[in-house]
Amino acid sequence: MPQSNPTSILRLGTRGSRLAMAQSEHVRQALAAMGVACELVEVKTSGDRIQDRPLADAGGKGLFVKELEEALLAGRIDFAVHSMKDVPVQLPEGLRLGAVLEREDPRDALLAAQPASLEALPHGARLGTASVRRKAQALRARPDLCIELLRGNVDTRLRRLDEQHFDAILLAFAGLKRLGLAKRPLNLLDSDSWLPALGQGAVGIELRSDDTRTQAAVAPLRHTPTEIALTCERAFQAALDGSCRTPIAGLAQIQGNELHFAGEVLAPDGRDFVSRRVVHVLSAAPLEDAARLGHEAGAALRSKAAPWLAPACG
């Protein structure tokens, strides 16, 4: 049974990276402005400890949330703040998403030793990334590039670029903005032609399903348009049943009363891909619409993408 928390101060669980702490501090301040007191509780995750190999070889992005979810179920924290692109579609029994905050810019950013676009990088340039999606997309655009593993937090990755271990690296622009690093020379990749990771740029709050007190406290932070978009993207992921070894990308956006979604699955070497783009007029039940649209898009690609849908990680 979870340990009870009789105090009025909510315990907010977070990873210890500077980006995770910045995101959690943003949530803490937003709650404080509404009169809800929180304290940050740092939880070391497996994803932070494993730095010598791709996460796909160790269990996938779920390793960034596993220990936080264990702390939730044990009652050591009241809620956890996650980057939504790290959160598996299936949550453990007893846990749920209590809120999704307004999404930051979801695009990827290319940072280079000599500022340049992807097309302008020299032949055979060393490109650093730990993402199977970014690797496949980069090789699709530039098969000559030498893709090398780059793990670590944002500061570590930028330092390795500055030390010329790489000619260029790829990072989520949202993380750079949240860390006050958006003014570094960079090239933003157009999301129409370079789809981001599902959930990229969004921050979510996970809590125990039966914790009505915490749910009531975080409910005002919900951003409905982002929640609708992520419902679509996560349904797309679920329909494909792909793993952390599968290059999958997608982005849902609300424009007026329409939900626009684009998704794709790539061969790991970037030599082939299948994609789907759909537009749907939202009804009075937008979350149900989004879930159906995402599922149908994923189901439409599943058989075509079957050769690349790797078995589950771990």
Q: Tell me whether residue 57 is one of the annotated catalytic residues.
A: no
Which pTM was predicted?
0.92
Question: Quick check: 40 and 24 in contact, CB under 8 A?
Answer: yes
Which CATH number goes with the domain that contains 118? 3.40.190.10
What is the pLDDT at residue 51?
47
Q: Name the catalytic one among 52, 57, 86, 167.
A: 86
Claim to verify: residue 32 and residue 87 sit in the same structural domain: yes
Claim to verify: residue 256 and residue 240 sit in the same structural domain: yes
Claim to verify: residue 23 and residue 87 sit in the same structural domain: yes
- Tokens 């891909």 correspond to 273
Strand, coil or helix: 249: strand
Claim to verify: residue 71 and residue 209 sit in the same structural domain: yes
Looking at the domain assignment, is residue 1 inside a domain? no
Looking at the domain assignment, is residue 314 inside a domain? no
Claim to verify: residue 88 and residue 64 sit in the same structural domain: yes
Angle, helix 286-305 to helix 224-240, in steps of 10 degrees? 30
Claim to verify: residue 164 and residue 248 sit in the same structural domain: no
Claim to verify: residue 184 and residue 50 sit in the same structural domain: no
How far apart (Å, rounded) are the C-alpha atoms in residues 307 and 244? 15
What is the pLDDT at residue 5?
62
Looking at the domain assignment, is residue 313 inside a domain? no
Which CATH number goes with the domain that contains 292? 3.30.160.40
End-to-end Cα separation, the chain, in angstroms: 27
What is the pLDDT at residue 58?
44
Looking at the domain assignment, is residue 20 inside a domain? yes
pLDDT string in tens for the chain (314-residue length): 565 565 689 999 999 999 999 999 999 999 999 999 999 999 987 655 544 444 454 444 567 799 999 999 999 999 999 999 999 999 999 999 999 999 999 999 999 988 889 999 999 999 999 999 999 999 999 999 999 999 999 999 999 999 999 999 999 999 999 999 999 999 999 999 999 999 999 999 999 999 999 999 999 999 999 999 999 999 999 999 876 789 999 999 999 999 999 999 999 999 999 999 999 999 999 999 999 999 999 999 999 999 998 665 54
Claim to verify: residue 67 and residue 32 sit in the same structural domain: yes
Both structure tokens of 18:
């500077």
Looking at the domain assignment, is residue 196 inside a domain? no
Taking the alpha carbons of 285, 287, 292, 293 in that order, is the dihedral positive or negative? positive
Count of the separate structural domains present in the chain: 3
Claim to verify: residue 69 and residue 131 sit in the same structural domain: no
Claim to verify: residue 96 and residue 245 sit in the same structural domain: no
Looking at the domain assignment, is residue 51 inside a domain? yes
Looking at the domain assignment, is residue 141 inside a domain? yes
What is the pLDDT at residue 50?
46
- Which domain range does residue 22 map to? 10-102+202-222
Q: Where are the beta strands (DSSP E) in the chain?
A: 10-14, 38-42, 79-83, 95-100, 108-112, 126-129, 146-149, 168-172, 187-188, 203-208, 248-255, 258-266, 273-281
Claim to verify: residue 215 and residue 80 sit in the same structural domain: yes
Looking at the domain assignment, is residue 5 inside a domain? no
Claim to verify: residue 210 and residue 161 sit in the same structural domain: no
